[in-house]
Every structure is written in structure tokens, then in C-alpha cells.
């Protein structure tokens, strides 16, 4: 007999998913301990569980999955093939409809004006503190994208607005924002996307304490410190309007000791997600919950508790490191709301991590 944990590990289904499919009569364990309620599976059920996992990843409705499993167990090949073919046709039809809608949206986007698109000014000159800019780049660099299909995310946004410089990076799954004070510029708001390699070269120059000079000339950006400089072309794209994305619903707040919490995340329970990240690999998830006394705990699984929020464990560890504080504030809202990681002493520097939906 296989335990539910062994079944989850070998089939690709989570423990909570196996419980859900048991309650729904889709994949019922061979035996349930009448005292503990612990589920045990016959070795022959492993193939059914793996088939179930594949069908769910393919998006097949649960009602059809029941029929496929029934046909599978009775060796009714014709039924199984018919159901699979029907589902493929359904997916192809849905994809065709989606392509039509996206084609219409693309045409609308090409015709409409871009009121949020900011022209690049030809003469931006400002001074900024080297330590502050270094800290801002350190706080956001981890969130920059690497997907060649989304080149506008492959760098760090410098958003210059009066005497404030916002430094922003996002890869869709996470976003980080930092703010730096500037001097010497009073022109209109301007934005440039600094490619990640150039942002890294700029960061390497920021070892001193003196102010440095940032200049934007058309599509070229330059950072100068002393007799050294890092310069290059900006990305010729429009960055998403990040200011629409940072207003997230207030959630449960918890002040965490970073060293202790980081160790708990590194050694605590994880769940494996079927959701593919930017490197097309499955991710280990940490399931978090803020208890009534304000403590963040790591849970074994999501269960049915709406206070549980799952997040990519590697992204969470990156954000904790980028926070660069002994203590950080975690804000957890609904399971579908971003997780905010903030510095207690700096409300302008924070990270947002998109949650991962847990399979019931």
C-alpha cells in the first residue's frame, strides 16, 4: 500500500488534490484508517493518479476525467480516445476564439492613442546619491525579467519625476520598487528602461559616497562618477504603468525577523506547482499564513483555509534578501492578492510577489 504522501510524490498530484479527488469520488483510496482517517492507496492506483494529473494539466473538465478513468480501468479504449479527441477539439476551438479576440485587441491598441506613454526628453541631467542609488538597484534588480518574448521587462525602469527617481523592475511574477531623491532637475516627467547588463554596470560604479550624475539624451543613458562612466542605449519599449499595480488591498501585517523567517522558508514544507515560471520549470511553493497573534507560519498544504497564501519559494527568498533589513513587514491579503514585502523604515521601497493558486 502507498501512503498519501508517497502517492503525491510519485503521481505529481498534491496531497490536498488527492484529498479533493477522494471527496469527489474521482480517485478513492483503497483503504482509509478508521481511527486516524489516513488514506492508503493500492499500488495499481498509481497509473490512474498519473493519468489524472496529466488530464488536469491538459485542462480537461472533471466530469470528463471521471469517464476517462472509468474507461481506463475497464480497458474501454474507444471511449477514452473519443473523450480525448473531443477535448482536443474543444481546446483548438477555444484557442481559435482567443486568437480572434487578441487580434481584435491588437488592432485596437495600434489605433488608440497612448496617453500614458511619456516622450523621452533630450536633456535630462540630475545628481543622485551613490549609496542611495546603489541601494535602490540592489532592492529591485532581482525582479527584472529575462523572457525574450517580453523585452520591455528586460531591464530596470528609471522613472524621473521632479526631484524623485523611482527605480522599478518586474517579470510579471514579482515587482520591486525603490525611490531615490535627486537634485538639479525640474523638467517634465521622463522614463527610460535601462537594460539589465547596463544596470549592473552602473551598480558596479556606485562604491563611493559622493553624488553621481545621471544623464539621458534621447535613447542614451549615462551614469558618471568621477572619471568613470557607464553608458548605453535604453530599451526602445514602453514599460507597464507600474503605479496602477502597486495599490493592493490592505492585508494582514506581520513583522518578521528576516534571519529566522528565511531559515523557516528554506527548511519548511513545500508544495510543487504545475504552474510554469519564466524558466519553464515547475516551482516549489511556500504556503504562508498569518496567525491571530501576528506570526507568519508555513503550512503543510493549502487545505480549504482562505487565509493560506502560496508563493514561489525562490522568489520569496530573493525578496527577503533584497529587503536588506533585519526585520521586514509582510502583508498577506486574499489568496489571489499579491504579497507585499516592505521595509519598516522605508515605505517607498517594497516588493510584490504574485501568489500561486493552490489546486483544491
Residues 6 or more apart whose Cβ sits within 8 Å of residue 262: 317, 320, 321
Residues present in the chain in total: 360
Domain 2-89 in this protein, CATH class: mainly alpha
Contact 350, 338 (CB under 8 A): no
Q: Which of 200, 173, 169, 177 is nearest to 316 (CA)?
A: 173
Let me know: does 206 contact 225? Beta carbons within 8 Å.
Answer: yes
Query: pLDDT digits over 190-238, tens only?
Result: 999 999 999 999 999 998 888 899 999 988 999 999 889 999 999 988 8
Which pLDDT belongs to residue 110?
A: 67
Give CA–CA dist 5/23, Å, rounded: 17
- pLDDT of 208: 83
**Every domain range in the chain assigned CATH 3.10.150.10:** 124-243, 248-353
- Cα torsion 276, 279, 285, 288: sign: negative
C-alpha cell at 267: 527548511
3-class DSSP string for 81-109: HHHHHHHHHHHHHHHHHHHHHHHHHHHHH
CA distance to 105, 127, 202, 217, 256, per residue, from 225 (Å): 45, 10, 10, 17, 37
Q: What pLDDT does 280 receive?
A: 46
At the topology level of CATH, where does 124-243 sit?
DNA Polymerase III; Chain A, domain 2 (3.10.150)
Phi, psi (deg, nearest 5) at residue 317 = -65, -40
CATH topology of domain 248-353: DNA Polymerase III; Chain A, domain 2 (3.10.150)
- Give the tens place of pLDDT for each residue, 117-167: 445 555 799 999 999 999 999 999 999 999 988 898 999 999 999 899 999
C-alpha cell at 298: 508555513
Phi, psi of 209 (to 5 degrees): -110, -15
pLDDT for the residue 73? 79
Chain centre to alpha carbon of residue 259:
22
pLDDT in tens, 247-270: 776 778 899 999 999 999 999 888
Give CATH 1.10.1660.10 domain extents, the chain: 2-89
Does 185 score more than 60 pLDDT? Answer: yes
Secondary element (H or E) of residue 126: strand 124-129
Instruction: Read off the pLDDT of each residue in 263-280 and give the average, rounded to a whole number.
Output: 72
Amino acid at each position: 500500500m502507498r501512503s498519501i504522501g508517497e502517492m503525491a510524490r510519485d503521481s505529481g498530484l498534491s496531497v490536498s488534490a488527492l484529498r479533493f479527488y477522494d471527496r469527489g469520488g474521482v480517485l478513492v483510496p483503497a483503504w482509509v484508517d478508521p481511527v486516524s482517517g489516513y488514506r492508503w492507496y493500492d499500488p495499481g492506483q498509481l497509473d490512474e493518479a498519473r493519468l489524472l494529473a496529466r488530464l488536469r494539466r491538459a485542462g480537461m473538465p472533471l466530469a470528463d476525467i471521471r469517464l476517462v478513468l472509468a474507461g481506463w480501468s475497464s480497458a474501454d479504449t474507444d471511449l477514452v480516445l473519443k473523450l480525448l479527441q473531443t477535448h482536443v477539439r474543444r481546446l483548438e476551438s477555444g484557442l481559435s476564439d482567443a486568437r480572434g479576440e487578441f487580434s481584435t485587441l491588437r488592432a485596437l491598441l495600434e489605433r488608440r492613442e497612448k496617453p500614458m506613454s511619456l516622450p523621452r526628453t533630450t536633456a535630462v541631467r540630475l545628481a543622485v546619491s551613490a549609496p542611495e542609488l546603489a541601494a535602490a538597484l540592489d532592492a529591485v534588480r532581482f525582479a527584472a525579467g529575462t523572457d525574450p518574448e517580453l523585452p520591455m521587462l528586460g531591464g530596470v525602469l528609471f522613472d524621473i519625476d521632479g526631484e524623485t527617481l523611482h527605480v522599478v523592475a518586474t517579470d510579471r511574477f514579482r515587482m520591486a520598487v525603490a525611490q531615490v531623491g535627486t537634485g538639479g532637475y525640474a523638467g517634465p516627467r521622463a522614463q527610460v528602461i535601462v537594460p539589465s547588463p547596463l544596470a549592473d554596470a552602473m551598480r558596479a560604479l556606485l562604491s563611493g559616497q559622493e553624488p553621481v550624475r545621471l544623464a539621458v539624451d534621447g535613447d542614451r543613458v549615462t551614469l558618471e562618477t568621477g572619471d568613470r562612466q557607464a553608458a548605453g542605449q535604453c530599451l526602445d519599449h514602453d514599460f507597464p504603468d507600474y503605479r496602477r499595480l502597486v495599490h493592493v488591498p490592505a492585508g494582514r501585517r506581520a513583522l518578521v525577523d528576516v534571519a529566522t523567517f528565511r531559515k523557516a522558508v528554506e527548511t519548511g514544507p513545500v508544495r510543487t506547482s504545475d504552474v510554469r515560471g519564466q524558466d519553464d520549470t515547475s516551482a516549489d511553493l511556500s504556503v504562508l499564513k498569518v496567525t491571530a497573534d501576528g506570526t507568519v507560519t508555513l503550512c503543510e498544504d493549502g487545505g480549504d483555509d482562505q487565509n493560506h497564501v502560496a508563493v514561489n519559494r525562490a522568489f520569496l527568498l530573493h525578496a527577503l534578501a533584497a529587503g536588506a533589513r533585519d526585520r521586514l513587514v509582510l502583508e498577506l491579503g486574499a489568496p489571489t492578492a499579491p504579497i507585499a514585502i516592505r521595509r519598516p523604515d522605508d515605505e517607498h521601497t517594497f516588493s510584490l510577489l504574485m501568489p500561486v493558486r493552490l489546486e483544491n
